[in-house]
Structure 1
Amino acid sequence: MTTRERALLVLEDGTRYEGWAYGARGRTLGEVVFATGMTGYQETLTDPSYAGQIVVQTAPHIGNTGVNDEDPESGRIWVAGYVVRDPSRIVSNHRANASLDDHLERDGIVGISGIDTRAVTRRIRDAGAMKGGVFSGADADLGPDEQLRVVREQTDMTGQNLSAAVSTREEYVLEPEGDRIGTLAVLDLGVKTSTLRYLAARGFEVHVLPQDVSIDRLRELDPDALFYSNGPGDPAASDAQVELLRETLRDGRPFFGICFGNQLLGRALGFGTYKLPFGHRGINQPVLDTTTGRVEITSQNHGFAVDAPVGEVLESPIGFGRVEVSHFSLNDNVVEGLRALDIPAFSVQYHPEAAAGPHDSMYLFDRFRDMVIARREGRPLDAATAAATTPAADPTHDRPSDSSATTTGSSND
């Protein structure tokens, strides 16, 4: 039998959990958060939105279906560290071509196994997401005081702009599927592969742009619409992307944003953002669409939210007309979507592509497509009209042919 090596998870409040090394050995630091999904651990690990975070999986068994070449949402694992209870000793899935442990070691991800992840989750729910560190190998032998000092001296998530770390360095293009309806500029703040695939499937010629693209380059490209992706970090630290969006809204181009893009639309319209105590991370988050009254089960991964009242029509403080909260969480009333009533712009806080997760919200891609077509044809169609005229799709519609529907093992969004 392989000899197990000691590892420790240390939280900034001094709480310590002792277990076994999993993945790479060494030390890693980050914000400790928990993810509640029962499936999709490979999508979770490769989601750039998790950059800078040590992810605790609440599902007890992780790695049983291994990893494959179809499920990743990017070209690498982005989590800062990984915490699981019972890693699978064997891989059992016909699609697997490697073990999860192999990929964690390949990408240098320091993890820990064999601890009570329920206890860690309860601690975070009580005290809020906090800084932490995983220590294994020689770092496991550091004294407790030294480990705690290292954890506490790391940078807080609040105030960090992480989009530069995860965004593409060069522009690239995805060709449209079927009839081409126009050019779409996607600002890559940590975009997931499945999001780009679904946009191309709606007929968009998708131009993926670096997070620091200039307004001059954007106007030179002259896209039919703009899309802001998901991504990590504090939206209050993304002033350049907010100003780029404001200029685009003034140009009258349709806009759709998801997750981080929702927070940046909120800021662009003149509202604030704030940090949630422990965030929303999972694939079973209930959200109410205020237009249709329909409840959607959504995939989410965010630690910040837009500060706006639910149930009111608001006036943009900086002159973009009327705005309303289009979706909100049924768990805690957090803003889950924004809709501009006088300009063609809307956003949601969750992941309509839901890889892995439910497909209740796939219709939002169709709503965006309809808005772009209407503008191209000279028909006025703001976000409010688009919401009223685009029906919510059958949740089984547009399930991808690959793994996102039959997804991997034991984890999150």
Structure 2
Amino acid sequence: MSAAAPAPAVLVLEDGRTFRGEAYGARGTTIAEIVFNTGMTGYQETLTDPSYRGQIVVMTAPHIGNTGVNDEDFESRRVWVDGYVVRDPSRVRSSWRADRTLDELLGEQDVVGISGIDTRALTRHLRERGSMRAAVSSEPQYVGGSVEDLLARVNAAPTMEGASFLADVTTPEPYVVPAVGDKRLTVAAIDLGIKGMTPRRMAQRGIEVHVLPATSTVDDVLAVGADGAGPDGVFMSNGPGDPATADHVVGVLREVLERRIPYFGICLGNQMLGRALGRGTYKLKYGHRGINQPVQDRATGAVEITSQNHGFAVDAPLDGTFETPYGPAHVTHVGLNDQVVEGVALVDGPAFSVQYHPEAAAGPHDADHLFDRFVQLMLDHPRPTPSSRGTT
């Protein structure tokens, strides 16, 4: 008996470009912003990265799913992508660590996908036109003929500008990741969509990490630590959505900067520092998503290959310094593909951030040293005593 024919599926972009293929993962319809990821590996880490909330992800690597999936490599509690697009899904899972196929995982988590389309043509289209809204559907009323009704739904959907997903992705309750070995430092980590590898990277360096919800106040941050002196440092994670909507988080960070508590931010945490310093953010044409993004450290000239996932960037001058309420600041890192700001720091204050992901669960690990830099920053700027806390 021959196998049943795969169910048809359709992908419709907001400008009317249409691709037809086969259903992959869950059946149904999903509408979100469509973006592409250039990583050649690490698809499970991509799927479980909360920064992808609100997005349909196109994988530019043609062959996806060959290592299957397992429960150990999740970067968060679930799959976060709103839809998934691949060219050639693997027919078998070949890794001994796998406990199910990628198709099965997508089905379990209700992620609607499509396979068998020309992802190279789709990626070229998005590079020329920019990220846009799209729909993936395997429902008969949309795949059987005209896509005009589906296109109308796409064009009625909200855009990423003005979108906030922090309430969806943040932890509902605080939790602690204990230090590995002797405890050296305590960090309050604001979860804007944190990946599981991030607190583990800090814990490996003797840091006890208190992960706090995005709704936490500065009092919640200062309550971290057993001796009443507050944390040794504050960290803000990656996360999804438009950074212009995160006013509460920016307000908390400004309180942290006023108290000169050492700060380190990545991805959305970088945009939060940019906003706290008085700079704006803007949406990139198609963003940076993958594990092969070249970034230059402007202080040393060294180039790192980095893991990235962002569609917004900080608007700041690449050369010289710019004034902030906390003293002068400067751009520390720049993206070599398009000269986008990839890092900012205070010149004389204990705060820095980068736009990429130094935890890089799927690699590369060029930027892992930034966690060591954060440790040194905290050692160089010890927290004040309770009696002096709150002074500027």
TM-based fold match above 0.5: yes
Deviation at 1:216? Answer: 2.1
Residues 159 and 237 in structure 1, CA contact (< 8 A), matched pair in contact too: yes
Listed as ranges, the matches of 1:219-230 within 5 Å are: 219-221=222-224, 222-230=230-238
Listed as ranges, the matches of 1:45-124 within 5 Å are: 45-124=47-126
Q: Tell me, in whole angstroms, the C-alpha distance in 2 between the residues paired with 1:164 and 1:40.
A: 26
Matched with 1:170 is 173
Q: Write the deviation string for residues 114-133 of structure 1: whole angstroms up to 9, x where unpaired.
A: 00000110110000000001
2:152 is matched by which residue type in structure 1?
A: R
Q: Write the deviation string for residues 39-65 of structure 1: whole angstroms up to 9, x where unpaired.
A: 000000000000000000000000011
Matched with 2:378 is 372
2:342 is matched by which residue type in structure 1?
A: E
Matched with 1:198 is 201
Q: Tell me, in whole angstroms, the C-alpha distance in 2 between the residues paired with 1:204 and 1:355.
A: 19
Residues 5 and 137 in structure 1, CA contact (< 8 A), matched pair in contact too: no
How many residues are matched?
376
CA RMSD of aligned residues (A): 1.1
Matched with 2:389 is none
1:296 aligns with 2:304: yes
Deviation at 1:298? Answer: 0.6
Deviation at 1:223? Answer: 1.3
Q: Tell me, in whole angstroms, the C-alpha distance in 2 between the residues paired with 1:321 and 1:253.
A: 15
TM-score (norm 1): 0.89
Matched with 1:258 is 266
Residues 66 and 93 in structure 1, CA contact (< 8 A), matched pair in contact too: yes
Aligned in 2, Cα 1:255/1:142: closer, same or farther, shift over 3 Å? Answer: farther
2:307 is matched by which residue type in structure 1?
A: S
Deviation at 1:202? Answer: 1.2
Deviation at 1:70? Answer: 1.9
Q: SS of the residue aligned with 1:240?
A: helix
Q: Write the deviation string for residues 341-373 of structure 1: whole angstroms up to 9, x where unpaired.
A: 121000000011112121111100000001112
Q: Tell me, in whole angstroms, the C-alpha distance in 2 between the residues paired with 1:128 and 1:92.
A: 35
Q: Tell me, in whole angstroms, the C-alpha distance in 1 between the residues paired with 2:276 and 2:66.
A: 43
2:148 is matched by which residue type in structure 1?
A: D
Residues 112 and 134 in structure 1, CA contact (< 8 A), matched pair in contact too: yes
Q: Tell me, in whole angstroms, the C-alpha distance in 1 between the residues paired with 2:143 and 2:214.
A: 37
Identity of aligned residues (%): 57
Q: Tell me, in whole angstroms, the C-alpha distance in 1 between the residues paired with 2:4 and 2:331.
A: 54
Listed as ranges, the matches of 1:331-370 within 5 Å are: 331-370=337-376
Q: Write the deviation string for residues 201-247 of structure 1: whole angstroms up to 9, x where unpaired.
A: 11111000000011222222221110000000000010000000001
Q: SS of the residue aligned with 1:282?
A: strand
1:332 is matched by which residue type in structure 2?
A: D
Aligned in 2, Cα 1:5/1:178: closer, same or farther, shift over 3 Å? Answer: same
Q: Write the deviation string for residues 132-190 of structure 1: whole angstroms up to 9, x where unpaired.
A: 01010335347411100111111110111111110000000011012212211000000
Residues 287 and 329 in structure 1, CA contact (< 8 A), matched pair in contact too: yes
Deviation at 1:28? Answer: 0.4
TM-score (norm 2): 0.94
Q: Tell me, in whole angstroms, the C-alpha distance in 2 between the residues paired with 1:336 and 1:151.
A: 32
Q: SS of the residue aligned with 2:337?
A: coil
Which runs of no fewer than 5 residues in structure 2 stay unpaired?
A: 225-229, 385-392
For 1:215, which of 215, 218, 234 is the aligned residue? 218
Residues 181 and 373 in structure 1, CA contact (< 8 A), matched pair in contact too: no
Q: SS of the residue aligned with 2:381?
A: helix
Q: Tell me, in whole angstroms, the C-alpha distance in 2 between the residues paired with 1:153 and 1:30.
A: 11
Matched with 1:29 is 31
Matched with 1:38 is 40
Deviation at 1:301? Answer: 0.6
Matched with 2:336 is 330
Deviation at 1:9? Answer: 0.4
Q: Tell me, in whole angstroms, the C-alpha distance in 2 between the residues paired with 1:163 and 1:126.
A: 30
- For CA contacts below 8 A with separation 6 or more, give which structure has more relative contact order: 1
Q: Tell me, in whole angstroms, the C-alpha distance in 2 between the residues paired with 1:141 and 1:178.
A: 60
2:354 is matched by which residue type in structure 1?
A: V
Deviation at 1:339? Answer: 1.2
